[in-house]
Amino acid sequence: MLEFNGEVRQNDNSLFDIATRGVSMANPEHLKILKQGVEVWHKWRKKNFDLKPDLIEAELIETNLNRASLSKADLSLANFIGAKLIKANLNDADLIEADFRGADLIEADFRGADLSGANLRGVNLSEADLTGADLYGVNLYQANLTKADLTGANLTGAKIIETNLTGANLTG
């Protein structure tokens, strides 16, 4: 049994994996500001433009982050299940092993983002910009990438099954 943030867990290998990889939990201040809404978040980002937001393992289930500026943020292992990220800016963000199942990512900007091992099952990425993104080992099962730009993206080991790639740019 392990106690973690007041929560008792049995045989939780993910905590061990995270500890051994040196990954920590989200900065509570950063997460609190983000959960106050996109407008508050943008004001904070303007004041702290040189700071890399630490949102590792953030729980953002069904959160409305439409048009949020999350560029260069560390969102590794974050939980975005069912979240709304329409036209969100996630360029150059660390999204390693993030879970986006059922999220709405229409026209989201992922240029240069690291999505290695992310779960994008059933997401709507129509017209998203994934130029130069690292999609190594991602799960794109039943994802919608209609008119998405994947120019120069790394799709090595990606699970592309029943994925809609109509009009997608797959060059480079």
Residues 83, 160: Cα–Cα separation, whole Å: 22
CA-wise closest residue to 71 among 90, 86, 45, 48: 90
Going along the chain from its start, the domains and CATH numbers come out as: 1-172 (2.160.20.80)
Report how far residue 116's alpha carbon sits from residue 147's, in angstroms, rounded to the nearest whole number.
21
3-state class (DSSP) for residue 43: helix
Residue 41 CA to residue 23 CA, distance in Å, equals 23
The candidate with the shortest Cα–Cα distance to 70, out of 29, 38, 114, 24, is: 38
Query: Looking at residues 109-134, what average pLDDT do you find?
Result: 98
pLDDT bracket for residue 24 (50, 70, 90): low
The rounded distance, in Å, linking the Cα atoms of 160 and 62 is: 24
**Burial degree of 155 (CB within 10 A; 0-12, 13-18, 19+):** middle
Separation between Cα atoms, residue 149 and residue 169, nearest integer Å: 5
Instruction: Convert the pLDDT of each residue in 135-164 to its tens digit.
Output: 999 999 999 999 999 999 999 999 999 999
Global pTM value: 0.85
